[in-house]
Amino acid sequence: MNRTTLSLIACVAALAAVTGFATLDAPDTSGADTTKAAARLPVERTGLVCPAPSTSDLAETAYTSFTPVTKGAAAKGTAQLTAATEESTDATGKTDGKDGKTDGKTGETDGKTGKSKEKGGKTAAKPVLAPKAPGTPATGSTSGGTTPAYLGTAEGAYAPGWTLQETTQVAAGTGRGLLGVNCTAPDTEFWFPGASTAADRTDYVHLTNPDDSAAVVDIELYGPDGALQTTVGEGITVPPHASDPILLSTLTAEKQDAVTVHVNVRSGRVGAAVQALDDKLGGDWLAPAGDPAGSLVIPGIPKDAVSVRLVAFAPGNADADLKVQLASSTGLITPAGHETLHVKGKMSASVDLGDVTRGEAGSLVLTPTDDAVPVVAAVRVVRGKGDDQESAFIPATADVGTRASVADNRAKAATLSLTAPTGTAQVKVTSSAGSEGGATASQTYTLKPGTTQDVVPPAPQGLKGTYAITVEHVSGAPVYAARTLLSTDKDTPGFTIQTLPDDRGTVSVPEADENLDVLQR
């Protein structure tokens, strides 16, 4: 036996030990299909980024963390949410105390920033909250206009389905009202239909880099006539562990009210969200739209909406013709005068649907009239009257899949909207224990085909603090969901809407068997 054969046998033996093989049997050559179905196992690590909430001195921001209880998850784990602050050291290993960072030799804490000093010149950010055990929300808060972006990491028991909500109340000024956003997973591409560079809007795209190396990002803007000419939208560098809010009106001189923002990451990853602030209609976050698709669903349009504006965009060169329908409480209806929407390739199309819901729960359903062409879409919703009007955004989203959750629900201030556009479906809705006490409560709902149902989530028993809502698909057709949260500040009316796509709390893991064919090659 020569050295090559001995090396191969030793290698295979080592591999068997690492992967836990019990035996080293010869492969089955009978021709029978021995493929095993992939198992779905809980994810072991989840990363999220939260954008800097506001520059207003009047801003009050709440952060809420929640992990639903997941069968098969690890017994232990960790989770944290810390500030995204760029670390900058000079050749001596010291940091500049002027910018709130400190000399790593002292090991002291900067009282102004709440950051602790570590050896080696690095700055450790003080966590804004400490997540509790799965099934119970944890909360934290900040105030003022200097709150940074935050980076979140959950591992083990805290990772499957981990969700973070950032909710900001701004009492006055441009963008006043209630602004809410689900902190998002970092990615390499984002679409935001519904942004604006108009004079009465101040829109920022927030780019947050959670990684140890710089990210390079291109930002493209598309209006009704195609791509807008931009000046500095290409090759934007986002440093490691840093966030960069970019004012859209600084990228182009064109004033357009219906703009689609495309964030494309050349290298690295970022989290992205658009903060849309209006001089008269308040403001909110525009979350990334779901992946381009031929058919789209935009769930959870409030029944008392006084204005609904739809913006759609076709990323490819082909035009898209969409049938516009409203899934109401009684079934699918077509808005009079807005039966279809023509979307030219690489151009933003918009239509004002007015008070399309007319006092009933509703969700928009967009389907191709002919050949399916991938599109992205979102709506801006306006509620209220006179000086008390406020706006929010709802992007087209994926269905709840197996399970989806949303955090930061408050007593008598949250409404859950459920829609099943294509068939009968059943879902289970669970309200978690409160962040400060209480017990879970659940209820099952049956949805008729093509309808939207607004429900008040089952109230947790003895609720104290805020709670989370988890929607689980029980049977039937796909279900789409959104949560509307109302301001609890009577002096500052406001609302915000978040969609509930699948939480991706589990991942498909295929069965693997040993293969000794390598010894025969």
Residue that has been written with the tokens 């390598």 in this structure:
518
Side chain identity, residue 395: P
Confidence of residue 477 (pLDDT cuts 50, 70, 90): very high
What would the mean pLDDT of 343-351 be, rounded to a whole number? 98
Confidence of residue 23 (pLDDT cuts 50, 70, 90): very low
- pLDDT at 16 > cutoff 90: no
Q: Where are the domains of the chain?
A: 42-86+124-507
Of 463, 417, 419, the C-alpha closest to 440 is 463
Please state, in angstroms and as integers, the Cα–Cα distance from residue 369 to each residue in 122, 350, 366, 477, following that order: 57, 17, 9, 22
Confidence of residue 130 (pLDDT cuts 50, 70, 90): confident
Report the alpha-carbon distance of residue 181 to residue 437 in Å, rounded.
24
Q: Which of 10-14, 312-316, 385-389, 420-424 has the lowest mean pLDDT?
A: 10-14
- For residue 101, what pLDDT is reported? 35
Tell me the sheet residues that pair with 394.
379
Of 48, 46, 44, the C-alpha closest to 186 is 48
- pLDDT at 33 > cutoff 60: no
Residue 322 structure tokens: 């969409």
In the chain, what percentage of residues exceed pLDDT 70?
83
- For residue 367, what pLDDT is reported? 98
Per 3-state DSSP, the chain is made up of helix, strand and coil in percentages (nearest 5) of 5, 45, 45
Of 245, 225, 227, 249, the C-alpha closest to 236 is 245
Report the alpha-carbon distance of residue 135 to residue 160 in Å, rounded.
11
- Top pLDDT among 399 and 15 is at 399
- pLDDT at 205 > cutoff 90: yes
- For residue 514, what pLDDT is reported? 64
Half-sphere exposure at residue 266, Cβ-oriented, CA atoms within 13 angstroms: 12
Please state, in angstroms and as integers, the Cα–Cα distance from residue 32 to each residue in 21, 27, 36, 147, 317, following that order: 21, 11, 12, 61, 46
Confidence of residue 379 (pLDDT cuts 50, 70, 90): very high
- For residue 295, what pLDDT is reported? 98
